[in-house]
Amino acid sequence: MTEAKLEALLNEGRSFAPSAQFAQQANAQPSIYAQAAADPVAWWKSQADQLTWTTTPTKSLEWDLPFAKWFSDGTLNASYNCVDRHVAAGKGDKVAFHWIADAEGESRTITYAQLQKLVSQAANALSELGVVSGDRVAVYMPMIPEAVVTMLAIVRLGAIHSVVFAGFSAEALSSRIIDSDCQFVVTADGAFRRGAPSPLKPAVDEALASCPNVKAVLVVRRTGGEVDWKDGRDHWWHEVVDRQSEEHVCESFPAEHTMFIMYTSGTTAKPKGIFHTTGGYLTHVSTTYRLIFDVKPDLDVCWTAADIGWITGHSYIVYGPLINGATQVMYEGLPDSGGRDRWWKIVEENKVSILYTAPTTIRTLMKWGGEHPAGHDLSTLRLLGTVGEPINPEAWMWYREHIGGDRCPIVDTWWQTETGGILISPLPGITATKPGAAMTPFPGISADIVDNDGNSVGNGEGGYLVLTQPWPGMTRGIYGDPERFKETYWSRFPGKYFAGDGAKRDKDGAYWLLGRIDDVMNISGHRLSTTEVEHALVSHPSVAEAAVVGASDDTTGQAIVAFVTLRLSAEDATGDQTAIVEELRTHVAKVIGPIAKPRQIILTPELPKTRSGKIMRRLLRDVAENRSLGDVTTLTDPTVVNMIAGLMETKGDSDD
Ligand code: WT7
């Protein structure tokens, strides 16, 4: 479909009616909106009642703004709810995971009964290493079954996992380990990417040089490469876990027991340790998975194509699907490991029926061309989901036509690390969908769009997205920093949760998410703050000053563009600008991780500043996106901007 045609469709207010096939048999029936609206807290309690509790809660919400407790007098075990209860219900032979390796032909199938044994052994091993309830355990692992087993084993013991994306640097890992004082780390020797081993253990060794409190490191052998070893601290998984008993009787913990920490970027250089507690989080993710993805555990094969290093992996690979007893595909590799049609081979071979991914991946697959999906039988698919950033209508339409065969509903799900689970999304079989819109707050969720003064905007208007009532999966705060929690989320509009996103309500009242309105960038669905990247740049000895902006990018949504002034000595020494630019890009990748590598670095003798000394980021964003520059009269030196714009034009983009 051409852009122009698409525009025309959109202008007509194109929407896709709910699928008739879904309407009959969907897990969510239209009456739930009214039921939930009549008494949201009672509705959430009825959802919580579907978990297996050791002590059934009598309490629902206790709200001491901005601190919420849900179901606080109940006790349960998260791992039991994900695994043991299905085995106890006679579903032990049901497949939990079809794990598919990066290399074609390598796979593992794990049933719920096998998962129970693996998790029990891992829990016994962690106990032996000294892990007890309340301890923080860092997890730095590739997409292998042991990663899921580890998370389940940790929460089984009432310990707290802090999963750090394996693409993050040693420095990023150590700062997260230190911030929440993790005393244990679970990792692997390496990972496979497009057939090549890529080491992980060296980053852990480097990180731990500054983490003296770490007592034990458990290492899965995945690639078989040489690793350095610290006797007494390091333990091989196959030596410690495999010899453990396959039985582990689990304890129960209070609903408000902390379950995990997930670091995410805010507007400062220091990532925030967002923490979630057990009962509310599990209620939220299991309910949303059941109703939004319409999972039928006996029929569906679900594939959330995300990494466990992000919240999507936590909520919709591990906890939401497993509580529902779903069968899933878990994939280790990249979308083009083994060829550009690898995903579609996986869908065909495993009869995947529910696929959940990010717009950036959809755009990449779209660029590779429709012939790749067309060469495979994708008729098993019945529902498609997207998450992580606003999806452009063109990508939405491609997903619908080329992947969904024009028949699968698409759920565009808006949420955040902080929200625990999905808050805004269509419900299949109920909601008519519009290409690019997240549509409607989930039952039991009170969202609003407000203007600068906090007043609700009307249909057809835009503003800031807020949540006006607490929900079960809501973060309970920033680990160790309650003040920052209040300040970041609850002070902009008193009494309301401020998400940091711009949004619009269209003439029909549907929600459209418009992207971050703060200094948070969204690179391929990953959050990074501009300040974080600036700090990384100025930590290089040659850099005097740096300003970073997120510029729109056809594939990654946003891309990092950095404006850098060098120290005089560095400028004198290096005549070769290309070399220093490359060095700086590599430096950022080393400090934060490859996802933070700037697409482009512009060396400039000066940065545009207001008279009060603030860097004019808005102007730099205009420059980076080739927009005409507005009013520059507030600058100390307006000519700086034109000079930078000139520099932009003479420099080509770097292309990796
Ligand atoms: C930010 C949260 C939620 C898991 C992945 C990202 C953006 C997320 C959507 C969507 C438009 C979206 C927002 C949000 N975002 N989903 N469907 N449409 N924007 O989690 O790293 O915590 O990032 O991602 O800007 O604030 P995260």
Q: What is the mean pLDDT of residues 405-416?
A: 97
pLDDT, one tens digit per residue, over 125-169 is: 999 999 999 999 999 999 999 999 999 999 999 999 999 999 999
pLDDT confidence tier of residue 575, bands split at 50, 70 and 90: low
How many whole angstroms from 420 Cα to the centroid of ligand 1? Answer: 11
Q: Following DSSP, what letter does each residue of 4-24 receive, concatenated?
A: HHHHHHHHTT--BPPPHHHHH
Q: How confident is the model at residue 502 (pLDDT cuts 50, 70, 90)?
A: very high
Determine the atom of ligand 1 nearest the C-alpha atom of 424.
Answer: 17
The number of the ligand 1 atom at minimal distance from the alpha carbon of 513 is 11
**Measuring from atom 6 of ligand 1, which residue has the nearest CA?**
388
The CATH 3.40.50.12780 portion of the chain extends over 14-503
Span of 5-14, 375-384, 647-656 with lowest mean pLDDT: 647-656
Which amino acid appears at position 166 of this protein?
Answer: A
Is-contact 198 152, C-beta < 8 A?
no
Task: Give 422 Cα–ligand 1 centroid separation in angstroms.
Answer: 10
Ligand 1 centroid to Cα of residue 214, in Å, is 32
Give me ligand 1 centre to Cα 32, in Å.
Answer: 25
What pLDDT shows up at residue 654?
Answer: 41
CATH of domain 14-503: 3.40.50.12780
Give pLDDT tens digits for 353-381: 999 999 999 999 999 999 999 999 999 99
Query: 494 to each of 350, 449, 579, 605, how far by Cα in Å?
Result: 49, 14, 49, 42
Torsion angle, CA of 207/331/374/355, rounded to 10 degrees?
Answer: -100
Q: 385: Cβ below 6 Å to ligand 1?
A: no
Q: Would you say residue 645 has pLDDT above 80?
A: no
pLDDT higher than threshold 60 for residue 633: no
Instruction: Say whether 70 sits in a helix, a strand or coil.
Output: strand
Q: Is the Cβ atom of 307 under 6 angstroms away from ligand 1? A: no
407 pLDDT tier (thresholds 50, 70, 90): very high
Tell which one of 311, 356, 415 to mutate to probe ligand 1, the residue whose CB is within 8 A of the most ligand atoms: 415
**Is the bond into 594 cis (omega within 30 degrees of 0)?**
no
What is the architecture, at CATH level 2, of domain 524-650?
A: 2-Layer Sandwich (3.30)
Residues of the chain with CATH 3.30.300.30: 524-650
What is the average pLDDT score of the chain?
93
Q: Are 619 and 641 in contact (CB under 8 A)?
A: yes
Backbone angles phi, psi at 598, to 5 degrees: -60, 140
Pinpoint the alpha helices (H) of 488-576: 530-538, 568-573
Q: Between residues 566 and 570, which one has the greater pLDDT? A: 566
User: Does position 656 have pLDDT exceeding 90, yes or no?
Assistant: no
Of 101-105, 189-193, 263-267, the least confident:
263-267
Task: Sort 102 into a burial class: Cβ within 10 Å, 0-12 / 13-18 / 19+.
Answer: buried
pLDDT digits (tens, 9 = 90+) for 41-50: 999 999 999 9
Return the ∠ at Cα 485 (arms to 479 and 490), rounded to 5°: 160
Assign 634 a pLDDT band (cuts: 50, 70, 90).
low
Counting from 1 in the atom list of ligand 1, the atom nearest the Cα of 391 is: 18
Q: Whose CA is nearest to atom 20 of ligand 1?
A: 416
pLDDT at 239 over 70: yes
Q: What is the mean pLDDT of residues 402-427?
A: 98
Q: Does ligand 1 have an atom closer than 6 angstroms to the CB of 235?
A: no
Q: Closest ligand 1 atom, CA of 315?
A: 4
- In the reported structure, the alpha carbon of residue 515 is separated from the centroid of ligand 1 by a whole-number distance in angstroms of 8
What pLDDT shows up at residue 1? 42
- Length of the chain equals 656
The closest-lying atom of ligand 1 relative to the alpha carbon of residue 422 is 3
Report whether residue 417 contacts ligand 1, using a CB cutoff of 6 Å: yes
Which pLDDT tens digit goes with each residue over 461-498?
999 999 999 999 999 999 999 999 999 999 999 999 99
Spell out the SS3 assignment of 299-349.
CCEEEECCCCCCHHHHHHHHHHHHHCCCEEEEECCCCCCCCCCHHHHHHHH
- The confidence band for 652, taking pLDDT boundaries of 50, 70 and 90, is very low
- Residue among 165, 501, 512, 518 to mutate when testing ligand 1 (max atoms within 8 A of CB): 501
* CB within 8 Å of 276: residues ≥ 6 apart: 258, 259, 260, 262, 420, 473, 475, 476
Ligand 1 atom nearest residue 527's Cα: 21
Q: Which atom of ligand 1 is nearest to the CA of 500?
A: 26
- pLDDT at position 628, please? 65
**Predicted structure pTM score:** 0.93
> What secondary structure letter does DSSP report for 595?
G
Residue type for position 654: S
Using most ligand atoms within 8 A of CB, pick from 307, 357, 416 the residue to mutate for ligand 1: 416
Atom of ligand 1 at shortest distance to CA of 312?
Answer: 4
pLDDT digits over 504-541, tens only?
999 999 999 999 998 899 999 899 999 999 999 999 99
Q: What is the pLDDT of residues 584-611, one digit of tens each?
A: 999 999 999 999 999 999 999 888 887 7
Helix, strand, coil content of the chain in percent (nearest 5): 35, 25, 40
| pLDDT tens for each residue of 299-342 | 999 999 999 999 999 999 999 999 999 999 999 999 999 999 99
- Six-digit token string for 413: 């799900």
Query: Atom 23 of ligand 1 has which residue's CA nearest to it?
Result: 416
Closest Cα to atom 8 of ligand 1:
388
What ligand 1 atom has the least distance to the C-alpha of 515? 25
CB distance 415 to ligand 1 below 6 Å: yes
